[in-house]
Amino acid sequence: MKNIINLIIMIVLGLFVAIIIYPALHEFGHMFIAIIVGADLVEFNLFPIPNVLFDVGKITIASNVMIGAGGVILPFILSVTINSKRFWLWYIGLIINIICCVSFIISALGCALFSFSKPIENEDISQMLNFCPNTVILWMILFIILIAYTVIRICKSHPLKRCIEYFEL
């Protein structure tokens, strides 16, 4: 019975991290960078659809690109810093790592599609590449490195082993 309750908690916590925590970190990442570069916040929403809108009329192209990258920077930094022996904190970090990896894959795919003049609408990487289309290869390489790093990090955390030990199977 204890294992069933813990499994339900894992599912609920995983969904909470995926639906609430990660999107909040993503949007706060954009907002944090935007504030640093001097963009004016116009709108910030976590519900029903997470988004953030800035007045970027007075900032540079580089600042616009940095704002776009902020959405993956903050969750990634947090995912790298969560390295706990405590199962539930480790599990939250694992979920964030997995979502970061998926976001890097989507961004790499976005780079490839942008190269073929088929950008993913409303995707951060497409908007960033609209500002500097000549950086597509650089971004692609960066995302491939981040994908590899994140996959290695996930594998090194031995998720199956940790879960088996936690559930005493």
Residue 18: DSSP 8-state: I
| Mean pLDDT along residues 35-49 | 89
106-134 pLDDT, tens per residue? Answer: 999 999 999 999 999 889 999 999 999 99
pTM above 0.85, yes or no: yes
Instruction: Let me know: does 147 contact 105? Beta carbons within 8 Å.
Output: yes
Tell me the C-alpha distance between 30 and 53, whole Å.
9
| Mean pLDDT along residues 146-162 | 96
Average pLDDT, the chain: 93
53-81 pLDDT, tens per residue? Answer: 888 788 899 999 999 999 999 999 999 98
Tell me the C-alpha distance between 34 and 144, whole Å.
25
